[in-house]
Chain A
């Protein structure tokens, strides 16, 4: 849950990148880190395994300027995508304000996206949150693989699979090239901030 400091006029917002393993969550944050270097005063924190997979989370804080007179500090987190780390994913979701679900566009990963989204729904329920009530953006990552003749799911199929009931904003993206990484971030920040409107007096 966002923490609002009425005296310093500061609000801290927690946005979590969620999705199946090797889907590009960390790559999203790395791209944001490289693009916003001047706004990010601290190093990106990554807790990884020896095999360079996310073990606990990545953490990247930065300031986006003033909204309704409040200094907004966005704290981006990723979760570990591997199936076995569900307890950790649940821990990172504690107090989440907005979520980017990073789905893997590769045809072979179709099932994994569905399982991960279902897991997100269950993990939110454990925190008494409803996936239909939390600000959420879907990112269909790895669209660039089409050029390398790797089979990817058509956008419409991913919409049907993942966004049929949620009906939230969705973007095709490539975290490796940076395509649509920042638009995804902008969308989730704006959805999250509008959900906090009433709290910012």
Chain B
């Protein structure tokens, strides 16, 4: 696992997050490693959530859910979704070491978001 990216790679990742996900209506997007560190982030300018705590909990949550997957004979559950009244969370695996967490409101449809996430994940993997 790399513990650093070049500034060029960070730029590319951040523009994918902005163009594919924030433009699609997401409020905030964080790209994290499985240790809970934030590697890149973007938001719509109106989002004041504590993303560092969210990253720590998100990485832990993903690990815990994967342990549950193993118990029922799955290798992993590569996608998680938590629905709230106003804000929802969408987690998806990018590769073995990284995850994408998206905070989005009720005005964005889950199906559309999933489509955009799949595109973004593909682009990040190709960098």
Contacts and interface: CB of A to CB of B under 8 A. Distances in A.
Contact of A95 (B34, B53, B57): B34
Contacts of B85: none
Interface string B85-127: 0000000000000000000000000000000000000000000
A124 to B, nearest CB: 14
Contacts of A25: none
A6 B4 CA distance: 7
Contact of B33 (A73, A87, A95): A95
Interface stretch (A54-62, A138-146, A165-173): A54-62
Interface in A3-54: 3-7, 12, 14, 41-43, 45, 47
Contacts of A77: 56
Nearest to A97: B35
Interface string B4-29: 11110011000000000000000000
B52 interface: yes
A186 interface: no
Contacts of A59: 36, 53, 56-57
A95 B39 CA distance: 13
A9 to B, nearest CB: 10
Interface residues of A, number: 29
A1 interface: yes
A201 to B, nearest CB: 9
Contacts of B37: 1-3, 12, 14, 75, 95
Contacts of B56: 45, 57, 59, 61, 75, 77
Contact of A56 (B3, B11, B53, B60): B60
B6 A42 contact: no
A199 B3 contact: yes
A61 B6 CA distance: 25
Contacts of A94: 34-35, 59, 63
Contacts of B35: 1, 3, 14, 94-96
B24 to A, nearest CB: 24
Given A59-B53, A91-B67, A3 B4 contact: yes
29 contacts: A1-B33, A2-B37, A3-B3, A3-B4, A3-B33, A3-B35, A3-B37, A4-B3, A5-B39, A6-B5, A7-B10, A41-B50, A42-B53, A43-B50, A45-B56, A57-B56, A61-B52, A75-B52, A75-B56, A88-B64, A91-B63, A94-B35, A94-B59, A94-B63, A95-B33, A95-B35, A96-B35, A199-B3, A199-B4
The 7 closest A-B pairs by CB, nearest first: A95-B35, A3-B37, A4-B4, A7-B7, A42-B50, A12-B37, A91-B63
Given A14-B36, A59-B53, A95-B35, 12 more contacts: A1-B35, A2-B3, A2-B37, A6-B5, A6-B10, A7-B10, A57-B60, A59-B56, A73-B52, A75-B36, A91-B63, A94-B59
